[in-house]
Amino acid sequence: MNEKCVGLTDKATEYLKNGEYSAALETYKKASEMGDYFASYYIACMYYFGDGVEKDDEKAFLWYKKAFEQGDPEAANRVAVMSENGIGTDKNVRKAFEFYLRSAEMGSLSGMANAALCYLEGKGTPVDTEEGIRLMNKASEGGNGIASLALANFYLSGNYVSRNYATARKYLERGTEQKYASAAEKLAELYEKGQGVEKDLKKAGRLRRYVLSMSEEEND
């Protein structure tokens, strides 16, 4: 991707931030024509969320697909989500799984987590618990807090794996370090109840305050 292409995308993003939606869309399109998948992805998001344009799921799907074809792993995940739910395209869980897998193979942590769920639940592919857990763990190790919480819940409930509170705590601690609020909340709950850990209300309180601070940061 050349500097001119990147410059166009940056300029389009400034237009978008300033509410100059027509200029943003046209500039993103120019960058997309030059092969910038970020530009194609942003166009898709504009149509998907109705950001400065009329919301159009079909156009959003096509632009996400174009971004994927240009090499964007996150766009592949978005194509999969829309295919799974029949948004902007026909519902097709098999096709969704294939795109989740492509997204995962391209390095998307979200794609890995979603492909893992497909293997675990048999969505669009035969059930493969071992592969599902492997992929979910890979996403967790890569920094995906949602995957870390999912694994913690598996070990707490005994779904897909043998129940193990110590391992569940490990994943909740990882999710907390990854600044995923839901993981920190779940960890606080364990300390409040003394579930698989020694009951510690002070530690639970610190975790609750940490969650609150994350919420305040997001609202700033």
Tell me the per-residue pLDDT of 78-116, one tens digit each, with 9 for 90 and over. 999 999 999 999 999 999 999 999 999 999 999 999 999
In a domain, 10, yes or no: yes
The token pair at 182 is: 């839901």
| pTM, to two decimals | 0.91
Specify if 189 maps to a domain.
Answer: yes
pLDDT tens sequence across 108-117: 999 999 999 9
Asked whether residue 213 is assigned to any structural domain, the reply reads yes
Is there a domain that residue 123 lies in?
no
Q: How many structural domains is the chain composed of?
A: 2
- Among 55, 74, 96, give the residue marking a domain's end: 55
Range of the domain at 44: 1-55
DSSP tally for the chain: helices H, then strands E: 12, 0
